Amino acid sequence: MAIDIAIAQFKPAKGDLDATLDAFDRVLTGALRRTPRPRIVVFPETALTGYFLEGGVREQAIEASALFERLSARHADLGADSVDIAIGFYELHAGRVYNSAMYAKLGADGEVVHVHRKVFLPTYGVFQEERFVEAGSGIRAFDTAYGRVAVLICEEVFHSISGVLAALDGAQLALVLSASPARGATPGTGAPDNVARWDALGSSLASEHGIFVAVSQLVGFEGGKGFAGGSAAYNPRGRRLVGGPLWEEALLVTSLDLDDVTQARTEEPLFADLERSWTRLLVNSPGAGVRRPEAES
């Protein structure tokens, strides 16, 4: 199945939900006017509020159902011409606050398809997530009208286990929502070091598991910290399909043929090797709680 997706490199109005929703509306409407029309539109981590809210996180947190109702009301005219979206937000859930991502269908028969709560919370340097949000409990894929999808949030991609769990649960497409502050500079390019790091991460996530990967990055400045952008998409061989500019908003549209997942995995069966070995490796790994037999002398 071939689908067109749009990756929004997006700048929220920090702490102003109404203004940010207006900007969301403009970007989504612009995406749906494209030809071909994208079926999935991806927004970054904390796209509704900005990332560096710290003590203001709880005030800005919203329940997924309430967010879906607001988005649906703003796009009630979609009707049967529905669209799927993935968007990052600070979520209020069961009395706790999470750094979350919602995958939802807007339009006729609209619904919240999946909510992912960030598992790996950076708390070092400029990052203070564990002070303000709870950690999620798992990573899984889910079914959509266009194939099986997984959502990952920023630092989760830096831990290879995240991609392993998503792929083993059947993901053909990983949507990566990120708010990555610019750090360092690559000699001779002027681009921040983390932009090059993200390019390597996205490519390796795709090629190791034979899946498509779409990375949506936040842009703008918050409290003197800049988000450089550099959103991108990669095919199952790790080749970059499209890349975003630095320091400005953009909408990247690309076509993904999910049949290419099967072809790539056949040509280079790294994922098949993982499937065969995963259970054995897990049971016999240090810390798995299973006592291994002593080696014979």
Q: What is the pLDDT of residues 168-214, one digit of tens each?
A: 999 999 999 999 999 887 666 678 999 999 999 999 999 999 999 99
Residue range 209-232, pLDDT digits in tens: 999 999 999 999 998 899 999 999
Give me the residue spans of the domains in the chain: 2-283
Instruction: Check residue 234 and give its pLDDT.
Output: 98
* Cβ neighbours of 257 (radius 10 Å): 13
Q: What is the pLDDT of residues 100-131, one digit of tens each?
A: 999 999 999 999 999 999 999 999 999 999 99
- According to the CATH classification, is domain 2-283 in 3.60.110.10? yes
Taking the CB of residue 202, how many other CB atoms lie within 10 A of it? 25
Rounded Cα distance, 155 and 165, in Å: 15
Quote the tokens at residue 98: 């999470």
pLDDT above 90 (res 35): yes
The residue assigned the tokens 């709560």 is: 117
pLDDT at 22 over 80: yes
Q: What is the average pLDDT score of the chain?
A: 94
